[in-house]
Amino acid sequence: MPNEEQKRNGDRNLLVVVCVVVVSAAVVAITTSWICSYVLDGFASSETMVLLITDAGLKSDDKKLEGQLTTATIALRTCRDLAMALAVGCGMVGAAAGWRVFGRRSD
């Protein structure tokens, strides 16, 4: 019977991990959506595109506009990082589920 108990514990552990990853994926997806909306709202302003791109960087007569562009760039990088984290998490779940499925066939 210890083998049966180990199997149940393993199934329970796998379920817990899957639930944690799914909740994390949902949080990341919601966060990514919110950040993208923020960036899109920033770019919707007609003043956002009034910049000069020079060899020395971006030039604008409005410091607030330069700050908004910097913030938008950081937000896009954050979206990229969150999406990569979500992809890694999903890959781990897929690997764990595949290992579980193919590992049972060999038993």
69 vs 54, residue with greater confidence = 69
**What's the pLDDT score for residue 58?**
63
Per DSSP, the three-state class of 59 is strand
Q: In the Cβ-directed half-sphere of 19, how many Cα atoms lie within 13 Å?
A: 6
Which of these, 4, 15, 7, lies nearest to 96 by C-alpha position?
Answer: 15
Token pair 């990229």 is found at 80
Q: How many of the other CB atoms lie within 10 Å of CB of 21?
A: 16
Indicate the average pLDDT of the chain: 76
pLDDT tens-place string over residues 20-36: 888 888 888 888 888 88
* DSSP letter (8 states) at residue 45: S
**What's the pLDDT score for residue 2?**
63
Whether 1 has a pLDDT exceeding 80, the answer reads no
Whether 10 has a pLDDT exceeding 80, the answer reads no
Domain positions in the chain = 22-102
